């Protein structure tokens, strides 16, 4: 998991760096203002710019970086690597290749469009507290927390191609395990010993809280019919036989305004931004010529074609 986060962070950060490195090609260099975190072949990366680039990452990656200093080090290493390679690429005049020029233009357009959105859409959208409150009052039914149960289970697995005898053997084993639980043996320990569900076995069969619609119908029906502390009879599903124990029940409740106001604000903000964006695009389509040949979308891509244009 850690390596996966490192890879995703580095990839996202690399995309940002590739966009910003385009400014180096024209001879402009990072401002000397602020503390210089790194310098490569005359190009300087200030601490402020580094933190700004991290702030441009998706929220979940920003959180990962804040919790793990190793990620920051990798992102800094990636900036150094990219800058070194970009410097050498310019010495080889790679920026003059037609295919590279096209990609630089595409990336520049993407960056300019993003900045245009910030200047002309995001900065102009304001959602007031009154609007948020009014939306909540008019749409209270949307903010009802459905009933949830927290359950543990023990799965006696049955292969998909199993015969009748295999199903009968699994049922008998499930009944034996259930009898142990009913007699007072610790359910979590029984799950660790007998359960064949790799996802929950290590947690003593704990599935956490879930609402209706999350589990297969047979399992869900049995779980929501139990009272707190009750243990089910063996429940047959396509996976095999389950013994279920309900640990806790949360009844359906109305979410408070405090619980959902941020969610509503974000929703209203997105809606306003979408409306403004559609209006702007409509005006721009009248201002600049747009020609589409959608029939070409169905044209098969030639075998062996390279989207980067290299041979």
- The C-alpha atoms of residue 265 and residue 215 are separated, in whole angstroms, by 31
Q: Is 157 left (phi over 0), alpha (psi -120 to 50) or beta?
A: beta
- The C-alpha atoms of residue 73 and residue 57 are separated, in whole angstroms, by 15
pLDDT greater than 60 at residue 295: yes
pTM of the model: 0.58
Smallest Cα–Cα separation from 144: which of 263, 254, 264? 254
pLDDT level of residue 87 (50, 70, 90 thresholds) = very high
Task: For residue 88, give every residue at least 6 positions away whose Cβ sits within 8 Å of its Cβ, in sequence order, or none.
Answer: none
Report the half-sphere exposure of 58 (CA within 13 A, side-chain side): 9
pLDDT level of residue 17 (50, 70, 90 thresholds) = low
Mean pLDDT of the chain: 87
Q: Average pLDDT of 149-166?
A: 95
- The C-alpha atoms of residue 202 and residue 188 are separated, in whole angstroms, by 9
- The C-alpha atoms of residue 254 and residue 265 are separated, in whole angstroms, by 18
pLDDT greater than 80 at residue 15: no
Task: For residue 156, give every residue at least 6 positions away whose Cβ sits within 8 Å of its Cβ, in sequence order, or none.
Answer: 170, 171, 173, 174, 177, 194, 196, 234, 240, 241, 242
């Amino acid at each position: 998991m850690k390596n996966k986060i490192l890879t995703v962070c580095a990839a996202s950060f690399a995309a940002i760096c590739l966009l910003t490195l385009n400014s180096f090609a024209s001879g402009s260099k990072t401002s000397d203002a602020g503390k210089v975190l790194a310098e490569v072949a005359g190009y300087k990366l200030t601490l402020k710019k580094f933190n700004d680039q991290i702030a441009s990452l998706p929220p979940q990656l920003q959180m990962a970086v804040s919790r793990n200093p190793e990620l920051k080090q990798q992102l800094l290493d990636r900036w150094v690597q990219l800058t070194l390679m970009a410097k050498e690429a310019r010495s080889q005049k790679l920026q003059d290749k037609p295919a590279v020029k096209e990609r630089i233009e595409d990336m520049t357009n993407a960056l300019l469009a993003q900045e245009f959105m910030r200047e002309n859409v995001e900065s102009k959208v304001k959602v007031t507290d009154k609007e948020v409150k009014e939306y909540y009052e008019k749409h209270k039914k949307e903010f009802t927390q459905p009933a949830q149960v927290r359950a543990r289970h023990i799965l006696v697995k049955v292969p998909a191609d199993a015969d009748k005898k295999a199903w009968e053997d699994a049922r008998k084993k499930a009944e034996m395990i259930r009898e142990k639980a009913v007699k007072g043996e610790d359910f979590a320990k029984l799950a660790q010993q007998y359960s064949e569900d790799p996802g929950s076995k290590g947690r003593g069969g704990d599935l956490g809280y879930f609402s209706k619609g999350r589990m297969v119908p047979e399992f869900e029906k049995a779980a929501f019919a139990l009272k707190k502390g009750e243990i089910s009879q063996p429940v047959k599903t396509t996976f095999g036989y389950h013994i279920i124990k309900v640990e806790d029940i949360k009844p359906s409740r109305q979410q408070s305004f405090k619980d959902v106001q941020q969610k509503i604000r974000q929703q209203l903000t997105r809606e306003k931004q979408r409306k403004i964006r559609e209006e702007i695009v409509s005006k721009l389509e009248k201002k600049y010529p747009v020609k589409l040949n959608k029939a070409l979308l169905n044209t098969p891509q030639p075998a062996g074609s390279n989207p980067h244009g290299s041979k």
